[in-house]
């Protein structure tokens, strides 16, 4: 096979050690391998960089093993051309696996140009990812804590969630605070209802009649204090992200124009895919990287399961969340797209399709510098107007009607 890189290195990365194998031309022009093991402490990794420099290495490859590749990448970045490779692309024959053999295998593949590096974002974008992903984790924890509040109320025979849409809303929180203060009279608690919930005061009185005891009060105090703490931490993350992304407010605003995508989702998208999307060849490559397009699985001329690949789980999650919102918008293209697919393919596939469409739409908006323009709820009917007309006429004729079509006068209003 043709040699792409004369002097290269393959690194097998672990938590405490890295094994590096350098391949370089020998005295007679034949490739010579040199292997060394280094600790993952900063001083040892600097020694690794010095060792690679002494051998004239130009390209380095390593597996994307958990987070353990990051310290190595941080210290080698800027000195060498580095490839961080998906471990799925480096599998060896079973029974022949050692750390040294793995490093040699990676180096051999790299030497002949058989590896494809993963997308590694800039240091700034990696910082955004840390912030958005941590915020998502805290938001999930807050949801779990709210569910624990609901569990305590159910145990106390208080059915507040059966009447109020949210036990942590303004009315619900006021009632919980009074329960903690020792107020258990259902009439007094029901009077704390705000807005439209006041119309349900009679039902609230029944729902708030329970067996609230001392240990329920203690548990509620712990849960509510934890929720308040999480709200404070999430607010700090929001402020930090807003400050760091301020120079890219125009890009955020453009993503925010798309139905279903709000500022938080836009921040996640920006952190996961970047600001200019130049690293993706086209919209199809971006959708594939995000895990939002069907997989290819064909053998013997037969198409097998086309399940979507895993892709970027954080980006996919944000877009699916946005797709649920877009599917509920009124008189919009994405709502029509969802309902056209949900009946034939199921709700989950329809949501994935809407997520794919949201991402592709955003790709073209960012790369072309254009604002969002909705295609309209009637887009699919307009595209196949003749077919829609024939189907409608056919259905009416089956019901016994005689149909005569006439063009309506244009609306001049």
- Look at residues 10, 6, 7, 272 and name the one whose alpha carbon lies nearest to residue 115: 10
Q: What is the pLDDT of residue 3?
A: 86
The residues, any chain, with a CB within 8 Å of residue 17's CB and separated by 6 or more, are 37, 38, 39, 40, 99
Tens of pLDDT along 318-341?
A: 999 999 999 999 888 999 999 989
- Global pTM? 0.86
* Confidence tier at 276 by pLDDT (50, 70, 90): confident
pLDDT of residue 411: 62
Nearest-angstrom CA–CA distance, 85 and 123: 18
Give residue 379's pLDDT band: very low, low, confident or very high (50, 70, 90).
Answer: confident
Domain residue limits, the chain = 8-111, 124-244, 248-295+307-413
What is the pLDDT at residue 392? 87
In the prediction, which pLDDT does 19 show?
94
Q: 286-326 pLDDT, tens per residue?
A: 998 898 887 666 666 676 666 777 788 999 999 999 999 99
At 403, is the pLDDT very low, low, confident or very high (cuts 50, 70, 90)? Answer: confident
| Nearest one of 272, 251, 254, 8 to 115, comparing CA atoms | 8
* For residue 166, pLDDT beyond 80: yes
100 vs 294 pLDDT, higher one: 100
Banded model confidence at residue 384, pLDDT cuts 50, 70, 90? confident
**Average pLDDT of the residues of the chain:** 90
Q: Is the pLDDT of residue 178 over 80?
A: yes
- Radius of gyration of the CA atoms of the chain, in A: 29
413 has a pLDDT exceeding 60: no
Reported as a pLDDT band with limits 50, 70 and 90, residue 263 is very high
From the number of C-beta atoms within 10 Å of its C-beta (0-12, 13-18, 19+), residue 215 rates as exposed
Q: Three-state DSSP class for 368? A: helix
Class of domain 8-111: alpha beta
Interval 204-258: pLDDT, tens: 999 999 999 999 999 999 999 999 999 999 999 999 999 999 999 999 999 999 9
């Amino acid at each position: 096979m043709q040699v792409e890189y004369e002097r290269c290195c393959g690194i097998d990365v672990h938590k405490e050690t890295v094994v590096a194998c350098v391949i370089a031309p020998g005295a007679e022009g034949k490739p010579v391998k040199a292997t060394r093991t280094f600790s993952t402490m900063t001083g040892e990794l600097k020694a690794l960089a010095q060792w690679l420099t002494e051998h004239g290495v130009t390209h380095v490859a390593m597996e994307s093993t958990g987070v353990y590749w990051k310290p190595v990448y941080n210290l080698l970045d800027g000195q060498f051309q580095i490839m961080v490779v998906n471990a799925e692309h480096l599998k060896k024959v079973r029974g022949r696996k050692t750390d040294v053999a793995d490093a040699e295998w990676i180096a051999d593949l790299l030497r002949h140009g058989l590896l494809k590096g993963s997308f590694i974002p800039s240091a700034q974008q990696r910082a955004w990812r840390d912030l958005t992903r941590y915020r998502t984790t805290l938001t999930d924890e807050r949801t779990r804590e709210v569910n624990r509040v609901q569990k305590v109320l159910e145990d106390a025979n208080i059915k507040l969630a059966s009447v109020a849409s949210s036990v942590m809303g303004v009315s619900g929180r006021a009632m919980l605070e009074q329960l903690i203060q020792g107020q258990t009279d259902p009439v007094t608690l029901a009077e704390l209802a705000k807005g439209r919930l006041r119309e349900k005061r009679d039902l609230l009185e029944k729902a708030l009649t329970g067996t609230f005891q001392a240990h329920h009060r203690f548990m509620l105090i712990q849960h509510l204090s934890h929720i308040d703490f999480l709200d404070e931490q999430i607010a700090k993350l929001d402020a930090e992200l807003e400050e760091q992304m301020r120079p890219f407010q125009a890009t955020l605003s453009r993503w925010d124009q798309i139905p279903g995508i709000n500022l938080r989702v836009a921040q996640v998208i920006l952190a996961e895919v970047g600001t200019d999307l130049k690293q993706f060849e086209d919209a199809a490559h971006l959708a594939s990287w995000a895990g939002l397009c069907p997989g290819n699985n064909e053998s013997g001329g037969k198409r097998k399961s086309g399940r979507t690949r895993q892709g970027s789980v954080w980006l996919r999650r944000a877009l699916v969340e946005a797709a649920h919102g877009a599917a509920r918008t009124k008189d919009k293209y994405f709502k029509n797209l969802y309902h056209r697919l949900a009946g034939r393919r199921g709700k989950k596939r329809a949501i994935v399709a809407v997520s794919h469409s949201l991402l592709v739409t955003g790709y073209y908006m960012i790369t072309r510098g254009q604002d969002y323009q909705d295609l309209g709820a009637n887009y699919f009917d307009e595209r196949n107007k003749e077919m829609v007309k024939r189907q409608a006429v056919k259905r009416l004729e089956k019901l016994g009607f005689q149909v005569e079509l006439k063009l309506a006068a244009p609306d001049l209003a």
